[in-house]
Amino acid sequence: MSKSEKPVAIVTGSSRGVGASTAIKLSKHGWNVTITCSSSEKAAVEVSKECQALGAETLVIKSDVSEEKNCKNVVEETITKWKRLDALVNNAGTTKFNAHDNLSGLSAEDFLRLYSVNTVGPYMMLKEAQPFLLESPNPSVVNVGSIAGVTGIGSSIAYASSKGALLNMTKSLARALGPIRVNAVCPGFIQGDWLRNGLGDEVYEALKEATEKATPLALTVTADQVADSILYFVEDAVTTTGETLLLDGGMHLGGPVPLK
C-alpha cells in the first residue's frame, strides 16, 4: 500500500466521549484515524463507521495502553496501513472514584494501575510513535489531562496525581522532542456517561449544577468542546509546544475573596 495522502492520527480511548468526538472531528477535517479502545470494541466500531461516512479510512484496535507491547502494536498497525503518522492524541484514561479524605480507599495497586494508563501509557505511545512523527510536516501530540492535575481535585487523589504527572511530563517531552509539538488539554467537569456512571445519576446532576453555579462562565464542558481544542493543537497551533490549556469555564480561578 502506498503512503496515505491524507494525514493520519492515532486517538487512544476513542470509543466514546472526548476520544470519539476527536476521531470524528479529525475525519471531518480530512484525516485518517486509528481508533483504540480497551474494552468497548462495539462502540469503537460505531465510531469508526461514523468516521468512514465522513470520508475517512479507519483502523479499530482493541488495546490497553498500560501494556507496552500494545502501544507498539498500535503504532505498527497504523504504519503498516498508511505508511505515515502525523498526530497522536493520548486520550485513554481511567480512574477509581474515592473520597479524598478516605485514605484507606486507595491501595498501592490502585495508584500503579492509574499511573500505568494515565501517565506511562502516553509515554509509551509517544516512544513508539516518535520516529514516524518526525517524518511528518506538522507532527503533534496532545495529551488529555484534567483540571484535577492542576488543582488537585477530581475523582480520587490517585487520579489527580496521575494527571499532574502527565502535565509535567508534557513539558519535559515538549522540551526534548522538537520539532514534534507536545501539548495538553485539561477539561473540568465533562458532561457524559463516564462521570455519570462513576458518580451515579443523583451525584452527577448535583455536582454538575454546583459546578456551573461556581464557575465564572457558568458551564460544564462537552466532549465536542474538548475535541475542538484538541483539533486546534493538532492542526493550527504550529508555534505552540509544552502548553496546558484549561477547559473548565474558569473553575480553577476559584471564587472571589470577600472584602471584610
Task: Give the active site residues.
Answer: 159
Q: What is the dihedral of CA 248, 158, 74, 184, to 10 degrees?
A: 30
- The C-alpha cell that represents 75 in the structure block: 503504532
8: left (phi over 0), alpha (psi -120 to 50) or beta: beta
The three cell numbers of residue 206 are 448535583
Question: What angle do the packed helices 157-177 and 108-115 form, to 10 degrees?
Answer: 30
Buried b / exposed e along 70-82 (16+ C-beta atoms within 10 A): bbeebbebbbebb
Question: Could you give phi then psi for residue 174, rounded to 5 degrees?
Answer: -60, -40
Location of C-alpha cell 471564587:
255
Mutual angle of helices 121-133 and 157-177, in 10-degree steps: 20
Rg (CA), the chain: 18
Q: Tell which residue, 248, 250, 228, has the closest CA to residue 237.
A: 228
User: Is the C-alpha dihedral spanning 25, 27, 31, 37 positive or negative?
Assistant: positive
Cα 78 off chain centre by: 19
